[in-house]
Amino acid sequence: MPTNKIVIITGASRGIGAATAKLFAQKGYAVCINFLTDEIAAKQLKNEILQFNVKCITVKADVSKACEVQRLFDTVDQELGCLSVLVNNVGILKKQCRLDEIDEQRFSQVLTTNVMSCFLCSKQAVKRMSSKYGGKGGAIINVSSGAAKSGSPNEYIDYAASKGAIDSLTKGLALEVANEAIRVNAVRP
């Protein structure tokens, strides 16, 4: 039987994502752990979450690709039910360096992973949550960074730029869907 509280957490197999998954499970949410490479960590986390007597699934998906995001959300629809919370946590950070040492491939990968994933997952969540589409509302939480404000000079300007984009996406989407029963916020750990 599907629960009324269901969360998808992208990049949830470790770090902030794993801690967030455990917290949602403690609060009684069914949890979807999204991961890309570390299946062992995802399965270990699932076993920990199941101890809270909630449903938990793991779904391997590259959330920077639309077809894989669609499959992720369809899997949650089928196995858990109606989504109530999305946590856009996935993100990559590369080796510290100056902007003039960052190549085009790295910059593109950081933006695609950190920003496109947030866009694609948020789009699928809105289609499910929005009262405009018959949804019951929900919440989208985007994980940003203090780097969005500092710019991370001499460290991660590419990462900072991606998190600045997350801040802009969050603000715009929050205003766009506020009247459709969806709350959109960002956190800056």
Give the active site residues. Answer: 159
Encoding tokens for residue 13? 């197999």
User: How far is 101 from 130, CA to CA, in rounded Å?
Assistant: 43
